[in-house]
Chains A and B, each alone.
Chain A
Amino acid sequence: MSVETLHGEPVQSDDPHQAFAVHYKERKQQDESYIVGMWTFLVTEIMFFGALFLAYIVFRNIWPGELSEISREHLNVKLGFINTLILLTSSLTMAMAVQSAQRKIEGRVYFFMFATIALALCFMGVKFVEYSKKYNENHVPGPLFHYVAEGAETKATVAGVEVVKTEGSTEVAHEAEHGRKFSLEPVKGSATSSAQHAEIFFSLYFIMTGLHGIHVILGVLVMLIIIVMMWFKSPLVADFMPIEMTGLYWHFVDIVWIFLYPALYLAHPDLQKFLHG
């Protein structure tokens, strides 16, 4: 073994499907290591998104009525449905891309990879429509956030640390002064959601879908890179493993959405709006 062969550098072989890095004993060991490694990484991703779901469940549990009301008023079930459809389909095309790579049918690999990318872009397009609507309505949490609850008497603006002047929030401030009781039994008073509820809901909505969207974009970038490398016949993508890895990642992104859709959009949807809106 020459010292100059760097660790991790692949040993070239006539058949790219048989090449493996110097520190492995055989090709099979390398393949399995990659797959197990990817799965271990996905485990960390599960815990990562899981923590966000936890935060969401906590607040849904504290204000079941208010949060589902906000979801009902402001999230578009139809767009969410279309996006779910798109992502599920993209999982199918991705699975086909991996299969074609395993069968070494290069033309099909290109086709299905491009199809997956196209679907991913559609998904992001729909998200863009949704996000820009919320942006125009000032529903993006932060300094510009502005929310008028239906039926609320006072308008409320949440900016910085300022105490909000809705009915609910004075109660909050009052209860917060009197120790921890607030977080035990939060304001359940009015059935109408206040700006606070809305800001928390939209914070979680944007963080959850935003992190998911970042994962989608990263997936698209990785696929593009692989396609370019395939086009230039790079030995690094000469075999199916990179595509298989990307596939695992992509399906995971799909799975996250499978849970996000019912959790966020289907809290308490409005049938009339869905059918006619």
Chain B
Amino acid sequence: MAKHSEHSEAVVSHEEHHEHHYTPTSHFLVVFGFLMIMLFATVGAAFVDLSKVVPIPGLNIIVMLLIATVKASAVVLVFMEVRKGTRLVWMWAAVGFVWLPTMLGILGDYFTRNWTTARPW
């Protein structure tokens, strides 16, 4: 539909007009290697008590979830080809990941439940 986005999409293949632009295998392999490294990093992080290094409670799970987010982003960008997608695809790929934290806002209740005392003014 939009003419302008067509050009910005032509990341890889320029040879043929009829040919669909595809991501070269090497890109997939690089990402796969990266995912493997990250997998080992996750498991490694699980066995080291990171809170002893930096005194933040629950640091392990935070680090592991951050790694998971990085992995997920790699999958989204390359395997799911969002990197070459139109602006609209970018937007919708982001919406879910942006909106999920809103729902996690429900946790706010659990963290503030015992803020029950109020001093008289």
Direct contact between A and B in the complex (CB less than 8 angstroms)? Answer: yes
A240 CA / B25 CA spacing, docked (Å): 17
Partner of A269, one of B47, B100, B107, B114: B47
Indicate if the CB atoms of B103 and A103 lie closer than 8 Å: no
From residue A93, how far is it (CB to closest CB) to chain B in Å? Answer: 10
Extra A-B contacts (18), CB below 8 Å, given A99-B28, A102-B22: A28-B6, A39-B92, A54-B107, A57-B104, A58-B106, A58-B107, A88-B35, A88-B36, A88-B39, A92-B79, A247-B79, A251-B79, A255-B72, A255-B75, A259-B68, A259-B72, A263-B65, A271-B47
Instruction: Check if A85 sits within 8 Å of B93, measured CB to CB.
Output: no
B76 in contact with A262 (CB, 8 Å): no
Interface assignment of A128: CB less than 8 Å from any CB of chain B: no
**CA–CA, A259 to B97, complex, Å?**
13
Q: Which residue of the partner chain B has the closest CB to A29?
A: B1
Interface string of A243-277 (1 = CB under 8 A from B): 00001100110110011011100110101001000
Enumerate 11 A-B pairs (CB-CB under 8 Å) in ascending A order.
A32-B1, A40-B92, A45-B96, A46-B99, A58-B107, A88-B39, A91-B32, A99-B22, A184-B114, A254-B75, A266-B43
> Closest 4 CB pairs between A and B?
A46-B96, A43-B96, A262-B64, A266-B46
B42 — nearest CB in chain A belongs to which residue?
A262
Q: B17 to nearest A CB, angstroms?
A: 12
Q: What is the bound-complex CA distance between A99 and B107, given in angstroms?
A: 41
Interface size of A in residues (CB-CB distance below 8 Å): 59
Beta-carbon contacts under 8 Å, A87-102 to B: 88-89, 91-92, 94-96, 98-99, 102
Q: Are B68 and A258 in contact (CB under 8 A)?
A: yes
Which A residues have a C-beta under 8 Å from some C-beta of B?
Answer: 15, 17, 25-26, 28-29, 32, 35-36, 39-40, 42-47, 50-51, 54, 57-58, 61-62, 64, 77, 81, 84-85, 88-89, 91-92, 94-96, 98-99, 102-103, 184-185, 240, 247-248, 251-252, 254-255, 258-259, 261-263, 266-267, 269, 271, 274
Contact A36 B28 (CB under 8 A): no
B contact residues around A91 at 8 Å (CB): 32, 35, 75, 79
- Please give me the residue from chain B that is nearest to A92 by CB atom: B32
What secondary structure prevails in chain B residues at the interface with A? Answer: helix
Residue pair B100, A50 in contact (C-beta under 8 Å)? yes
Chain A residue nearest in CB terms to B22: A102
User: With A262-B42, A262-B68, A269-B46 in contact, is A58–B20 under 8 Å at CB?
Assistant: no
| B residues lining the A interface (CB < 8 Å) | 1, 6, 18-23, 25, 28-29, 32, 35-36, 39, 42-43, 46-47, 58, 60-61, 64-65, 67-68, 71-72, 75-76, 78-81, 85-86, 88-89, 92-93, 95-97, 99-100, 103-104, 106-107, 110, 113-114
Contact among B28, B107, B110 with A95 in the assembled complex (CB-CB below 8 Å): B28
A57 to B100, CA, bound (A): 13
Q: Which of B46, B64, B89, B100 contacts A35 (CB under 8 A)?
A: B89
The answer to whether B65 and A51 have CB atoms under 8 Å apart is no
CA distance A35 to B76 in the complex (A): 13
